Structure 1
Amino acid sequence: MTQELTRHDIRIRAFQTLFALNANPEADKEVLYQQLLTDDGKLELNVPPYLDELVSGVLENQAALDEKIKQYLMQGWTISRIAKTDLIILRIAFFELDNEQDIPNRVAVNEALELAKQFSDDRSRRFINGVLAHEVETN
């Protein structure tokens, strides 16, 4: 039985994978994928290509993504001051804005706000929306 994931579901799994890797950089990405794609961890599923594209893309471009995010922080703020959940959501959104030509900017922003709604709070959602609104405005 194959589980068909929507792009939204894939973004959730990408967030969860990146969050886990942030907490434990030595973790095996493939093992995390399987844990997130199955209920019981026994059925091995094919990893959706877009999941690995997002996770690998964010990991490989993390420094550049963080530099872009820094442009929109208030004076005195640093990347390390941003809540980890918010930073990971921003990295995913910036990666999509920069690298996924088939995804409209408004979709990438909306998906980031949906992730914030699920994994963060209202204040974080407003912060993420403000940062992404500035990025979309300047591009």
Structure 2
Amino acid sequence: MAIKRQKIRQAAFQALFALQSNLDANPVDVCQQIAQEELELEEAPEYMRVLVNGVTEHQKELDTLLAAHLSSKWSLDRLNKTDLLILRLAAFEIKYEDEVPNRVALNEALELAKVFSDDQSRRFINGVLSNLI
């Protein structure tokens, strides 16, 4: 059974959220646990690992990129953690994943915001990523 990338992105988001809450956690173990619990898979999908490792490894660059596209009254420190993780995930796909069109990365970020955030955050995420693209 092929699993949709949208579900994989949700699982990657959950893994990143867990890793942010527990800085000592091993990303491989967290991906594995979430894949088993949320996706009901033995192994974490390759794309989930790509997203989690990519966001983790490139976090400083992604944060710099995102900060440059925030309005002057915002800073990364003011963002709630959920929105920041969604933005990092989308920015990673936009910057590093050539097979994912920018509009797809943006739309998937908005889908994540529907599940894990609220309408106001969704509009904010849309604005930041539209500026980035």
**Do both proteins adopt the same fold according to a TM-score greater than 0.5, normalized to the shorter chain?**
yes
TM-score (norm 1): 0.88
- Structure 2 counterpart of 1:49: 46
Structure 2 length as normaliser, TM-score? 0.92
Counterpart-to-counterpart distance in 1, 2:127 and 2:32: 34
Greater Rg by CA: 1
CA distance in 1, matches of 2:53, 2:79: 21
| Cα deviation digits, residues 18-70 of structure 1 (max 9, x gap) | 00111111112233223212249xx8712211111100000000000000100
1:100 paired residue among 97, 115, 123: 97
Matched positions, count: 132
Q: Which sits farther off after the overlay, 75-84 or 96-105?
A: 75-84
CA RMSD of aligned residues (A): 1.7
Regions of 4+ moved over 4 Å = none
Change in CA separation of 1:74 and 1:61 when aligned onto 2, cut-off 3 Å: same
Listed as ranges, the gaps of 5+ residues in structure 1 are none
Separation (CA, whole Å) in 2 of partners of 1:4 and 1:30? 21
Identity of aligned residues (%): 48
Q: Is the 8 A contact 2:82 2:116 kept in 1?
A: yes
Match in the other structure for 2:16: 18
**Residue of 107, 127, 131 corresponding to 1:130:** 127
Q: 2:67 matched to 1:31?
A: no
Alpha-carbon distance, 1:113 to partner: 0.1
Check if 1:66 corresponds to 2:63: yes
Change (3 A) 1:39 1:92: closer
* One-letter identity of the residue aligned with 1:46: E
Q: Residue 115 of structure 2 aligns with which residue?
A: 118
Q: Which amino acid counterpart does residue 92 of structure 1 have in structure 2?
A: L
Secondary structure of residue in 1 paired with 2:15 = helix
Equivalent AA in structure 2 for residue 25 of structure 1: L
Looking at structure 2, the residues matched to 93 and 30 of structure 1 have their Cα atoms a distance apart, in angstroms, of 21
Structure 2's unaligned 5+ residue stretches are none
Residue equivalent to 2:5: 7
